[in-house]
Structure 1
């Protein structure tokens, strides 16, 4: 990524110079903000989604300061700290808006001992996480994977944790030692029952480290579930250049998302969660229905579009939605095979939600790369597609179109393997090895189904499911061959 060195870099020093007609500066004094929120995993979604809510809250009452902790890469902390934690958020819709997010006080890297300091203060009331599904180090049953290399490391070196679970537990241990009490820990990842799973993982890890710590956590820490939603493309050179051209300053790490945003949190009665409702957060006693509708309809459709679109040679979601055949297939999958498996949340019309999603996917202002959505398929597939398939099979409903998403993922792995390309997935080596032995026939499916980390016996022994995936797999091979000849069609 490149920047124009002639432009002033974003930072506190130039806030007063920013043209509000081009980009809205913060309306509050950020210097006095307390660190009320600590966030683990300051990736694109967190900066585009949750930080926008805190920014709005601070316009009314200046008490929502956020400190973030990066677990994997120092790049984000270096870029954002050089800008005093400031960055630009662009909301892409028919009318684009631009604003400076100013609630982030700084980003620490996990090996910095000062990163734990907020746990030792009364100001801290909320700890949030966006570490992706794989960041929770869970096994196939959704429980802490005690054989995971990061967990094994943290159990041996608790003072220098590298996993989100280990790092969070260490912070909670320090809070107990400081004589401080109540805290809310909130997962904001696409993980069904994310609050329950996070709590169980932390408690199990604490049990293995210090049983009294586990007991303290049970008494003093609340783990509500949540659901988050907003399509957020990755930052690229084009976005950085756009900020320079439109706003007149240099921002090394801006972010973009669609205008739509949603945040649903389980209402456990804790005051800090209730306060978030002032910024539009929906509080409910049952997050699961919202969560399932979003995971199965939005994320399931997104993954299917990604893998099928790549088979056609498309690059983005919006481009894929211009393909009438794929748009029709995904719409039918959502209406005919996913919607019947759902119980609608209160106040949500699922048919309307589906049509809204299709329009959001087709938003030409959003360049959401299929390659980005394709990451971590081995972790995403069970949550986004396989759970729906199992539900439909148990009820005797169709899975024909859902099978295309599964088969397209398999073909994606084969193509990447043959191209000797890198894939981002915790099973990358195993998957690429499978891709190398594929023979371009339906029996390739059997090799993928043998992956215990992805498929359970219930599905691999289900003849109708296997047959549906094999039919789709064969059709996708034909599509790949037609694409090479300049044709198309599933």
Structure 2
């Protein structure tokens, strides 16, 4: 009988008899990539591509140092320190099999909220070539309607007054780039890996808005010297559960405090535009292109919006996971109708992609019974997600007199979800959203003002002024409030 081994560098010699471990020498790696926001997705995606490249290459300059800027990242820092920055990747296949391996591309982890100078120095170091980001949609600090930088944010106001005391990503990047410029070092590339359309352009525009207020001369240097490649990232990565930790202990007798689970599918398309060199990621399947925008739009409007369609409607119906939604034929049919009739017509040409096959693959991925992606995760921060994934599709279809029925049903269900917070069975729905209070306050006015919810201009723009949309929306809203029978209303649209 094997002994349970704690995951750390010392124990890798024994662990390699159980599952795959890194074959490269981690001790000689330099932190060429600084990654801000080390969550499950980064560990299942960019860190895995980097691990694969390090397995193939002799390069020592592309290790990753993770950075957490929030106090909430303390737990991750503790686990990484305990495990020498190692973790287990668990790829869950539809046939029930799980393929596990130890990922070794992350070589260090630092916290910024309690020691900002250390993080600034790390970014400013000559070894750093790329600073990459997964800071979620909300981390970009912009108004979703105007697209302008939010200078009312108290943390931003603090940073403008006290540049040496950064709190947000913008304060840290500005301080580090200033040091690089003053030291006559080339700048690092800033590479967004978040689910935002034109994510590199967004990062550039928001950073420049901030820096122009803080240091106009530095802003000019950044504008001319720093690259912000757009990228499209894709891999479904549910929240790690206790069951995953237990599985590793029972199956492989490995103790990992924070493994990451994911689906087999993985995709990364990147604009080939870098300030100071880049890894040869093309050797491990990354696609470098001159224009990422059509691919970004395809993914956001089909996969991410599709998730939200299933998530909001499924939550009100009483489902718990995405694959549970996909076990219901009505949900499957409605998802496909949304993708075919509402999302696909407003996409740009996507070279090299067969859209029918791509949508078929999404259905297969969503239905993967081993992933069990929770609807609470999918619906979390919907106020940041829907203005990027779903609401633009409504605006664009209204402009071309296209179909809006399924997306409108989702908005009506979101209002009910935000107001009542219960499913059709009367069970409480877990709602995780920075705007939860505002959403609830607007939604509960629906009884006296059916348009109250969509009057939130920061989320919906001028939809409330579109008669075609409001007529359909109010009819759907009335029906949902009357009987909470989401499936009946979905059937009516088929």
Shorter-chain TM-score range: over 0.9
Query: Following the alignment from structure 2 to structure 1, what is the Cα–Cα distance between the partners of residues 253 and 275?
Result: 42
Partner of 1:300: 305
Query: Following the alignment from structure 2 to structure 1, what is the Cα–Cα distance between the partners of residues 491 and 14?
Result: 54
Query: Following the alignment from structure 1 to structure 2, what is the Cα–Cα distance between the partners of residues 349 and 360?
Result: 16
Partner of 1:333: 338
CA shift for structure 1 position 336 = 1.2
Contact 2:317 2:485 in 1 (8 A): no
Partner of 1:280: 285
Structure 2 residue 248 is the aligned partner of structure 1 residue 243: yes
CA shift for structure 1 position 347 = 0.6
Structure 2 residue 53 is the aligned partner of structure 1 residue 51: no
Quick one: structure 1 residues 482 and 60, their matched pair in 2 at CA, closer, same or farther if it must change by over 3 Å?
closer
Larger mean Cα displacement after TM superposition, 423-432 or 184-193:
423-432
Larger mean Cα displacement after TM superposition, 182-191 or 406-415:
406-415
Q: 2:12 aligns with which of 11, 15, 37?
A: 15
Name the TM-score, length of structure 2 as normaliser.
0.92
CA shift for structure 1 position 231 = 0.5
Query: Following the alignment from structure 1 to structure 2, what is the Cα–Cα distance between the partners of residues 155 and 423?
Result: 33
Q: 1:103 aligns with which of 102, 105, 109?
A: 105
Structure 2 residue 121 is the aligned partner of structure 1 residue 114: no
What SS class does the counterpart of residue 98 from structure 1 fall into? strand
CA shift for structure 1 position 272 = 3.4
Structure 2 residue 474 is the aligned partner of structure 1 residue 466: no
Q: 1:430 aligns with which of 438, 446, 454?
A: 438
Contact 1:315 1:370 in 2 (8 A): yes
Where does 1:16-95 land on structure 2 (aligned, <5 Å)? 16-20=13-17, 22-61=18-57, 62-63=59-60, 64-72=62-70, 73=72, 74-93=74-93, 94=95, 95=97
Name the TM-score, length of structure 1 as normaliser.
0.92
Quick one: structure 1 residues 53 and 175, their matched pair in 2 at CA, closer, same or farther if it must change by over 3 Å?
same
Contact 2:376 2:430 in 1 (8 A): no
Query: Following the alignment from structure 2 to structure 1, what is the Cα–Cα distance between the partners of residues 406 and 324?
Result: 20
Contact 1:143 1:197 in 2 (8 A): no
Q: 2:404 aligns with which of 399, 413, 416?
A: 399
Query: Following the alignment from structure 1 to structure 2, what is the Cα–Cα distance between the partners of residues 29 and 238?
Result: 31
Question: How much is the aligned-residue C-alpha RMSD, in angstroms?
Answer: 2.3
**CA-to-partner distance for each residue in 1:48-84, whole Å, 9 max, x for gaps?**
1100000001012243211111122111111112111
Where does 1:299-318 land on structure 2 (aligned, <5 Å)? 299-318=304-323
Query: Following the alignment from structure 2 to structure 1, what is the Cα–Cα distance between the partners of residues 326 and 165?
Result: 46
Partner of 2:169: 164
Partner of 2:131: 127
Quick one: structure 1 residues 346 and 488, their matched pair in 2 at CA, closer, same or farther if it must change by over 3 Å?
closer
Contact 2:480 2:486 in 1 (8 A): no
Consecutive unaligned residues of structure 2, counting only runs of 5 or more, are: none
Partner of 1:3: none
**CA-to-partner distance for each residue in 1:374-427, whole Å, 9 max, x for gaps?**
111111111111111111111111111121221222122123289887733232
Query: Following the alignment from structure 1 to structure 2, what is the Cα–Cα distance between the partners of residues 476 and 162?
Result: 42
Larger mean Cα displacement after TM superposition, 188-197 or 137-146:
137-146
Consecutive unaligned residues of structure 1, counting only runs of 5 or more, are: 1-5
CA shift for structure 1 position 489 = 6.7
